[in-house]
Amino acid sequence: MVDIIMDWHAESIPIPTHTCFYPFLSVASEYVEESGVTLENLISSAVLERARLRGKGRILEAIRDGKVKKPVILSKAQVETELLSYPFARILVSCIGDKYLVRRYALSEAKSAYEKLLEDSSTGSTGSDTDIINDMSEEFGIRVDFFRLPAEREQVQMPFFDYLRFTANLRDKRWKLVNRGLEKGMVKLRRHEFLRIIQEAMYERIKKDLPLDVPSDICGAIKGYVGDIKKELEEKRKKFSDASFGFESGSEFLVKDPSCFPPCISYILSNLKEGVNVPHSARFAVTAFLLNVGLTEDEIIEIYKNSPDFDEEQTRYQVGHIAGDKGSVRYTSPSCATMHTYGNCVGKDEICEKVSHPLSYYKLKLKLKRKKEQQDKSNKKES
């Protein structure tokens, strides 16, 4: 069932209800463009206050829950509010200009859209799921085919170029091309897998151009909406830095002292903290390192929570594997040579010259630090 509603103040542009669930699609932005709502209206018109509040709400939800809830649509006005709230949210995100917020917001929007797609695809509430797949592929310029093997469910196939392009950030080994059915240049996928790839495409689309170059007078005009978001963001940051690293615990201070970590490990940690997608080899290195210096599995999982593709269950499994649960070997963090091979050797300093392993670096630096502290103490006593 596709519900067409008419917009009453624009020149009767029909817009299917479900478009408002995917406000980053070109049909949605075309609609906004043609609806006659100007940037001026969007930021100041009293009629559009609901859209602005919803726009702010999108961001708050993204920070808080990592999701942007899809409302139940009851009226045409609501469709419009939903559609207009998206460009407003983009302006807000741009005015704040925080990189972490950009990623978090884009990921939350994409994730929620993916969940909506999955739901629609299983209930068939917006036409057949084949239609959804066709629409989405067309939107993102992916050539897809459908095929059915005897006694199997229908599958989707797409050219491997597109597949590689959109799976660049999916680190799980099941997404590796080597583990996919590839024949004559086409990659075979289950429907839900295809939709997961669409999530990646949506994420890229949403993140693209953010932060926008918004003139300062516009940012000034909407300052009233920014305060709450900044506060929420600050809180999230604080919570994150308190809970995540677990290095604060006074008694064990010297056992896990992040100030003595080698530059390569600190770099990966700061990337994870910023929500940058970190390559698999680096994740392995940092996980093994932190386990080796005595962090618990839970503490490490916390660190990954900011990752764009965070999946608690998977992370728990992988961290557990490196920790040597379930009888697997307990891994030692990779040596400097291995770090170098995988391009994870970053910010070499003079201590690096003396060691060949990140753990040796840590031990050495701890020792130097203790020595210095003792010296300082005895100097104090003397004086």
Partner 1 sequence: MNEKTKLFVRRKFEEYYRRARISIPKDFWMHEWGFVFLDHYFPEKLVMRRHKSFATEKELVNYLRENAPAHAYHSAAIYKYPAADMATKGWLGADLIFDLDADHIVSEEELQRYSYEDLLGLVKKETVKLIDFLINDFGFHEEDIELVFSGSRGYHIHIKTDEVRGLGSRERREIVDYVMATGLDMKAVLVGKTATADYAVRELRRCTECNKITTKMICPACGRDTIKVEGKMGKEGRDVRLLASEGWGKRLRKGLRDFFITEIIGRSDEEGIKQLRGMGMTKEMAKKIVNMTKEEGMAKRIERMEEGKLGFFPMPVWAKIIEREKVKSADSPDAPVTADIKRLIRLPTSLHGKSSLEVKPVRIETFDDFDPLEDAVVFGDSAVEITAVRNSTIKMKGERYKVEAREIASVPEHAAIYFMCRGVAEIKEKNSPG
Q: Which of 11, 72, 74, 184 is close enough to bind partner 1 by CB under 8 A?
A: 184
CA dihedral 347, 353, 359, 365 (to 10 degrees): -90
* Interface with partner 1, residue 178, by CB under 8 A: yes
Find the shortest distance in angstroms from Cβ 159 to partner 1: 8
* Interface with partner 1, residue 165, by CB under 8 A: yes
Identify residues 186-215 at the interface with partner 1 (CB under 8 A).
186, 188
Among the residue ranges 81-89, 110-118, 126-134, 181-189, the one whose residues contact partner 1 (CB under 8 A): 181-189
Q: Which of 6, 27, 164, 368 is close enough to bind partner 1 by CB under 8 A?
A: 164
* Interface with partner 1, residue 331, by CB under 8 A: no
* Interface with partner 1, residue 183, by CB under 8 A: yes
* Interface with partner 1, residue 181, by CB under 8 A: yes
Q: Closest CB to partner 1 among 4 and 178?
A: 178
Tell which residue, 302, 22, 55, has the closest CA to residue 135: 22
How far is Cα 285 from Cα 364, in angstroms, rounded to an integer? 19
E strand or H helix at 71: none
* Interface with partner 1, residue 180, by CB under 8 A: yes
Decide if 268 contacts 278 (C-beta within 8 A).
yes
Which class for 90: exposed (0-12), middle (13-18), buried (19 or more C-beta within 10 A)? buried
Q: Edge-to-edge, what's the strand order for the sheet holding 145-147?
A: 145-147, 155-159, 186-189, 182-183
Residues 133-162, mask of contacts with partner 1 (x by CB under 8 A): ----------------x--x------xxx-
How far is Cα 22 from Cα 19, in angstroms, rounded to an integer? 5
* Interface with partner 1, residue 314, by CB under 8 A: no
Decide if 263 contacts 344 (C-beta within 8 A).
no
Contact residues for partner 1 (CB under 8 A)? Answer: 149, 152, 159-161, 164-165, 168, 173-174, 176-186, 188, 341
